[in-house]
Amino acid sequence: MDAEYSKGQRLFVETKVGNLEGVFYSMDAGHNRLTLTEVVLQPSGEKMEGFRHYYRNEVISGKFCMSTYTRVMILTFLWQLC
């Protein structure tokens, strides 16, 4: 959880209880608490309302998510190479 993110970035987060996507809101000064909004549980697609806090001992990894548009453009480009 030591990575630096910008407010508004969409993240994919792996936790001990499951995976989720959410919009980065903040991280405390010690990088021990990650706060997300617009959280969607994966793979169920269940949406969580409000601010959701995830702590260092719960998080396995966090990664920046590409937008759907960017993923489609990359897949289209790769498909054209075949």
pLDDT at 76 over 60: no
d(CA 73, CA 62): 23
Residue 24's CATH number: 2.30.30.100
CA distances from 76 to 8, 80, 81 (A): 26, 6, 9
- Among 28, 29, 81, residue whose Cα is nearest residue 54: 28
**Residue 63 confidence (pLDDT):** 72
d(CA 74, CA 19): 23
Print the domain residue range for 42. 10-81
Per-residue pLDDT tens over the stretch 20-72: 989 999 998 888 899 999 999 988 999 999 999 999 888 888 776 655 544 44
When computed from its CA atoms, the radius of gyration of the chain, rounded to whole angstroms, is: 14
**Residue 70 confidence (pLDDT):** 47
For residue 3, tell me if it sits in a domain: no
For residue 5, tell me if it sits in a domain: no
pLDDT at 8 over 60: yes
Global model pTM greater than 0.75: no
Domain count, the chain: 1
For residue 1, tell me if it sits in a domain: no
